[in-house]
Amino acid sequence: MTALPVAHLHVTDVRRITPRMARITFTGDGLDALPTWPDQQLKLLFPRPGQRAPRLPEAPGGDGMRWYQAFLALPEDERPVMRSYTVRAHDPQRGRITVDFVLHDHHGSANEAGPATRWAATARVGDTLARYGPAAEYARPLPLDDPGLILLAGDETALPAIGSLAEALPATARAVAWIEVADGAEEQPLSTRADLAVHWVHRDRAPGGADGALLAAVRAARLPEEPAFAWLAGEAGAVRGLRRHLIAERGLDARRIDFTGYWRRRLSQDDAPTEEDLAEARERAAAARVQDKS
């Protein structure tokens, strides 16, 4: 029976790479054999106040559903806070992974100073988290067999994924990225072998305010050609707006867009899904079914 992808993670390094982003490195069981791919997601489990480490449920065998049911059965005040994050880098030889944490509030959302942000802002070497995942069946690689232009767009929460995607692009790839951040101090160098043009969108300079800055920048852009594929992530409403723009105004086939809402304005991951969230989930499921048939 397959072992569950659950283990504790121990902090080995903490660096502030920009004023609002911390890069934290972890070691832990199983990281030497971790399956890896660009834009790799996993669940991080954060301890509750007063806990030195998150309490993990015990579930026999490798049944993920039974483990999750046991997780939900933990008392609420003891149950770890679970959040999704991107693996920014993986070092299998040293058995380590690196995760980038956005520390600044999402300009007015209920995520301001949430449990993950509070933990990352004070993280120290020796602190302990836990992970669930990742699972290779959720990998969604870019279609690099198509020589056309790849469009990447997202806010700072998508920046770790965009960075990992950029590093994985081959020298023959052509890509363009729009990345929304608070201001110029949040820009990061992106390493890549590809022909990649990066456009930074600063919220502090956005005409008419921060809301819609990324969509406005992409809408105003003159692309050298129709994208062969688009990868979109960040605030859910902005991602939906970008996808609608690319389909309705750029004529891009919906099957050539990979989109994910990482967070929701005025709502946290613990809040119930909205009708728009459910519609997005249905659209993603439909797109996945079409891709599986192609």
Q: The domain spanning residue 13 has which CATH number?
A: 2.40.30.10
The confidence score (pLDDT) of residue 143 equals 79
For residue 230, being part of any structural domain is answered with yes
Q: What is the CATH number of the domain that holds 248?
A: 3.40.50.80
pLDDT band at 194 (very low <50, low <70, confident <90, very high): very high
pLDDT band at 280 (very low <50, low <70, confident <90, very high): low
pLDDT band at 104 (very low <50, low <70, confident <90, very high): low
For 39-60, write each residue's pLDDT tens digit: 999 999 999 999 999 999 987 6
Q: Are residues 144 and 102 in the same domain?
A: no
The confidence score (pLDDT) of residue 207 equals 65
The confidence score (pLDDT) of residue 216 equals 93
Phi, psi of 290 (to 5 degrees): -65, -45
Average model confidence (pLDDT) for the chain?
Answer: 86
For residue 241, being part of any structural domain is answered with yes
Q: Are residues 277 and 219 in the same domain?
A: yes
Q: Are residues 125 and 10 in the same domain?
A: yes
Residue pair 26/153 in contact by the 8 Å Cβ criterion: no
Residue 201 above 80 pLDDT?
yes
Name, in order, each residue with C-beta under 8 angstroms of 156's C-beta and a sequence gap of 6 or more: 20, 21, 102, 104, 179, 180, 181, 182, 186
The confidence score (pLDDT) of residue 289 equals 43
The arithmetic mean of pLDDT across residues 116-124, rounded, is 94
The arithmetic mean of pLDDT across residues 263-280, rounded, is 55
Q: Are residues 110 and 160 in the same domain?
A: no
H, E, C per residue of 89-113: EEECCCCEEEEEEECCCCCCCCCCC
For residue 1, being part of any structural domain is answered with no
Q: Which two tokens stand for residue 72?
A: 């939900």
The confidence score (pLDDT) of residue 109 equals 43
Q: Which two tokens stand for residue 235?
A: 């605030």
The arithmetic mean of pLDDT across residues 280-290, rounded, is 52
Helix 213-220 with 236-248: angle, nearest 10 deg? 20
Q: Are residues 95 and 109 in the same domain?
A: yes
Domain that holds residue 153: 140-293
Per the DSSP assignment, residues forming a β-bridge with 91 are 96
Say how far apart CA 213 and CA 180 lie, in whole Å.
7
Q: Are residues 79 and 176 in the same domain?
A: no
Residue 112 above 90 pLDDT?
no
Full DSSP string of the chain: -PPPSEEEEEEEEEEEEETTEEEEEEE-TTGGG----TTEEEEEEEPPTT-SS------STT-HHHHHHHHHHS-TTTSPEEEEEEE-EEETTTTEEEEEEE-S--SS-TTTT-HHHHHHHT--TT-EEEEE---GGG-----TTS-S-EEEEEEGGGHHHHHHHHHHS-TT-EEEEEEEESSGGG------SSEEEEEEEEGGG-TT-STTHHHHHHHH---SS--SEEEEEEEHHHHHHHHHHHHHTT---GGGEEEEEEEBTTB-TTSPPPHHHHHHHHHHHHHHHHHHH-
Name, in order, each residue with C-beta under 8 angstroms of 76's C-beta and a sequence gap of 6 or more: none
Residue 111 above 50 pLDDT?
no
For 131-170, write each residue's pLDDT tens digit: 999 877 777 878 777 778 999 999 999 999 999 999 999 9
